[in-house]
C-alpha cells in the first residue's frame, strides 16, 4: 500500500470520528494543525509521512475525552484500518508516544521528550491554541464543559494537579492557566516566530475584555 493511500484511509476515518465535535477538537482543528505542521516542516525537514500520521491521530483519544489505554487504542485503530503492518516497530512507537504525550497537560508535571516529528506536531497543535482561533476554541470548549465565561470572584489560577483533573475555573482564567504560557513552550524557531503575533493577540483581547467588563470603555 502506498503512503498516499494510507494517509487517505486514515484521513477518512479521522474526519468521520471528529466531524461533529463541538469542543474545538473537530476535523477542522486537525486540518489547521496539519497546515501548521507542514509550514514548520519546510525548515525542519522531519519525516513528512510520520508527521502527517501523528497530526491526524493526535486528538483521537485525548485524555480529556477518553479514559482507556490510549496507546493500545491507537494501535487498535491502525490495525482496524489494516495499515498497522506498513509501519516499523520504531515508527509505531514514535506515533503512539507522540500522540500520547504532545498535549499541554501531559507536560505539566514533567516535560516529555518527543521525537523530531512529535515536536513539530506539538508546536503545530499549540499554535492552534493561540490567536483568534485559540480564543474561539477556548470559549467553545468552556461552554461545552459548562464553564462560566468569567467570574471575578472565582478567577484564581489552579495548580497543576487541579488543571489535569478539571481544567480552569472559567474560560478567561484558562488564558492564564494555559494559553499565555504556550509562547514560551515552542520547540522550533518557526513556531516561536509565529507564536509572537498570536500571543500578542491574546493579550490585546484580554485587555479589551476586562475593560469592557469593568465599564472602562
Q: Taking the CA of residue 156 as centre, how many other CA atoms within 13 Å lie in the half-sphere pointing to its CB?
A: 6
Can you read off the three cell numbers belonging to residue 124?
A: 503545530
pLDDT (tens place) for every residue of the chain, 217 residues total: 799 999 999 999 999 999 888 888 899 999 999 999 999 999 999 999 999 999 999 988 877 766 778 889 999 999 999 999 999 999 999 999 999 988 877 656 567 789 999 999 999 999 999 999 999 999 999 998 899 999 988 766 655 656 655 667 899 999 999 999 999 999 999 999 999 999 999 999 999 999 999 998 7
Q: Which CATH number covers residue 74?
A: 1.10.3210.50
Which grid cell sits at 115? 521525537
Task: Name the pTM for this structure.
Answer: 0.91
Alpha helices in the chain (DSSP H): 3-18, 27-44, 48-57, 70-80, 89-101, 116-127, 131-144, 160-166, 171-174, 180-182, 189-213
**So what's the pLDDT on residue 202?**
97
Residue 211 Rama label (left phi>0; alpha psi -120 to 50; beta): alpha
The HSE-up count of residue 122 (CA atoms within 13 Å, CB side) is 29
CA of residue 47 relative to chain centroid, distance: 20
pLDDT at res. 165: 54
Kindly report the length of the chain.
217
DSSP state of 88: -
Q: Which domain holds residue 55?
A: 3-213
**Count of domains observed in the chain:** 1
Whole-number pLDDT of residue 31: 97
Amino acid at each position: 500500500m502506498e503512503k498516499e493511500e494510507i494517509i487517505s484511509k486514515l484521513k477518512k476515518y479521522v474526519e468521520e470520528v471528529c466531524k461533529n465535535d463541538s469542543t474545538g477538537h473537530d476535523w477542522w482543528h486537525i486540518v489547521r494543525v496539519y497546515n501548521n505542521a507542514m509550514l514548520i516542516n519546510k525548515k525542519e525537514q522531519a519525516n513528512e509521512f510520520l508527521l502527517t500520521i501523528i497530526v491526524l491521530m493526535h486528538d483521537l483519544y485525548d485524555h480529556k475525552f477518553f479514559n482507556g489505554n490510549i496507546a493500545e487504542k491507537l494501535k487498535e485503530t491502525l490495525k482496524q484500518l489494516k495499515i498497522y503492518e506498513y509501519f516499523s516497530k520504531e515508527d509505531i512507537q514514535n506515533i503512539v508516544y507522540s500522540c500520547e504525550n504532545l498535549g499541554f497537560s501531559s507536560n505539566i508535571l514533567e516535560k516529555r521528550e518527543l521525537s523530531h516529528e512529535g515536536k513539530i506536531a506539538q508546536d503545530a497543535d499549540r499554535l492552534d491554541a493561540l490567536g483568534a482561533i485559540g480564543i474561539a476554541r477556548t470559549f467553545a470548549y468552556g461552554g461545552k464543559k459548562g464553564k462560566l465565561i468569567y467570574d471575578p470572584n472565582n478567577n484564581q489560577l489552579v495548580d497543576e494537579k487541579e488543571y489535569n483533573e478539571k481544567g480552569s475555573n472559567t474560560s478567561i482564567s484558562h488564558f492564564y492557566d494555559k494559553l499565555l504560557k504556550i509562547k514560551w513552550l515552542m520547540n522550533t524557531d518557526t513556531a516561536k516566530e509565529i507564536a509572537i503575533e498570536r500571543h500578542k493577540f491574546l493579550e490585546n483581547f484580554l485587555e479589551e475584555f476586562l475593560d469592557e467588563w469593568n465599564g472602562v470603555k
